[in-house]
Amino acid sequence: MRATRLIKMVLLLQSRPAMTAAELARELEVSERTVTRDAQALSEAGVPVYAERGRAGGYRLIGGYRTRLTGLARGEAEVLFLSGVPGALREMGLEDAASVARLKVSAALLPSLRDASRTAAQRFHLDAPNWFREPETPEVLPAVADAVWDDRTVAARYRRGEEEVVRELEPYGLVLKAGVWYLCARVARASGDGPFRVYRIDRFTAVEAGEERFARDDDFDLPAFWAERAEQFARSILRAQVVVRLSPRGVRGLPYAVDAPAAREALEAADAPDADGWVTVTLPVESEEVAHSRLTGLGPEAEVLAPRTLRERCARDARRLARLYGDGPEDGGPNSDGPEDGGPNSGGPEDGGPEGCGPEGCVEPVGT
């Protein structure tokens, strides 16, 4: 641990003209007293660390000293490619390795380019978790990440419904989707050709890595596998169908109210608009309950035609709303459907589409 910290200190001093004890302590996450001791150790080892006392003092390397410890270790090189997702690195326990790797790259750059990492970080930032959801890091994630890096089999205990099951897995890759971690793994079998599956890390209750390394399938493509499984999952939950008649504004709002790919496919397969400009679509949905909650958001821009039970439920909602808000033209009831009140005829592009949308784009509904 201390050797890594000393190397990091040398690289920090090499990448900057000088640093105060407080700055080094903050970067190394130690006390200023520890910085003083580490500087003394480096000096005794032959590294020309010079300490300048006083208010403007600090530490610097003298004589144009440059370390040759800039070669990346394998782990540092690997995590360097993940340095654009600092939150994910921290959750997997790889933040220190990434920090050292970035410093080595910075130390190898020309002085005029050494601020590249800082300027890039000030211009681009990735915030992966979904809105209004506080991400929670699964306790077993670092252990799973270590097994993925080392190609080691793991004995995993996870919740499946009301029971817990144990599987021996070959962990191939981790995926961070909307703040949720998933493991793509193959069930370990003597034949070596078990099926690939996807597991939510937060459902693991225990993970124990074995000493045995598995032979990785070189044909496995993590991005392609995940894209295929994600599409299969999205389609598998759409088990019901509803028939909906949509106003022009409802057509624009449909992809924001329900599953976007399903909405686009339904609209592409729809017949031409009727005399009033409304379009009838057959839409795959998870269930009538989900369809009711999502289509309700379109208000008077969508009319459910089938199934009958869903249409009757929406009709009851409409009657309740009419009682709540009244039905006279002076109070925005069903008879006041001109362009100014957002009725079916207000379908011009200037109105920005469904609620939450404007020229800059639409706010994605929570939970989609």
Instruction: Tell me the average confidence (pLDDT) per consecutive run of 10 residues in the chain, 368 residues long.
Output: 76 82 88 88 81 78 67 54 58 68 63 59 66 79 91 91 89 88 85 80 92 88 90 83 96 92 91 94 92 93 96 94 75 43 39 39 38
- 244 and 356 share one domain: yes
| Residues whose CB is less than 8 angstroms from the CB of residue 231 and which lie 6 or more positions away in sequence, other chains included | none
8 Å CB contact between 346 and 249: yes
Task: State the pLDDT at residue 156.
Answer: 93
Task: Retrieve residue 139's tokens.
Answer: 């306790």
- 68 and 101 share one domain: yes
- 258 and 326 share one domain: yes
Does any domain span residue 126?
A: no
Q: What's the N-to-C CA distance of the chain in angstroms?
A: 44
Task: Retrieve residue 260's tokens.
Answer: 């976007």
Last residue within a domain, chosen from 190, 206, 235: 235
Does any domain span residue 135?
A: no
Last residue within a domain, chosen from 191, 207, 235: 235
Task: Tell me the C-alpha distance between 301 and 113, whole Å.
Answer: 55
- 51 and 86 share one domain: yes
Task: State the pLDDT at residue 300.
Answer: 94
**Number of structural domains in the chain:** 3
Does any domain span residue 152?
A: yes
Does any domain span residue 127?
A: no
Rounded to whole angstroms, what are the CA distances from 169 to 74, 258, 328? 24, 35, 65
- 50 and 29 share one domain: yes
**366 burial type by CB count under 10 A (0-12 exposed, 13-18 middle, 19+ buried):** exposed
- 177 and 276 share one domain: no
H or E segment and range at residue 6:
helix 2-15
Task: State the pLDDT at residue 276.
Answer: 93
- 147 and 214 share one domain: yes
- 21 and 115 share one domain: yes
Task: State the pLDDT at residue 363.
Answer: 38
The CATH number linked to 177 is 2.30.30.520
Does any domain span residue 367?
A: no
Task: State the pLDDT at residue 254.
Answer: 95
- 9 and 98 share one domain: yes
The CATH number linked to 73 is 1.10.10
Task: Single out the residue of 286, 281, 299 nearest to residue 354, CA to CA.
Answer: 299
Beta bridge partners of residue 186, listed in sequence order: 170, 196
Task: State the pLDDT at residue 52.
Answer: 82
Range 288-316 burial, b when 16+ CB lie within 10 A, else e: bebbbebbbbbbbbbbbeeeeebbebbee
Residue 213, domain extent: 141-235
Q: Where are the beta strands (DSSP E) in 214-313?
A: 240-246, 279-285, 302-306
Does any domain span residue 282?
A: yes
Task: State the pLDDT at residue 162.
Answer: 83
- 167 and 223 share one domain: yes
- 345 and 256 share one domain: yes
Does any domain span residue 28?
A: yes
- 115 and 8 share one domain: yes
- Helix %, strand %, coil % of the chain (to 5): 45, 20, 35
Does any domain span residue 304?
A: yes
Last residue within a domain, chosen from 235, 268, 287: 235
- What count of other Cβ atoms lies within 10 Å of the Cβ of residue 186? 20
Task: State the pLDDT at residue 171.
Answer: 94
8 Å CB contact between 289 and 313: no
Task: State the pLDDT at residue 182.
Answer: 93
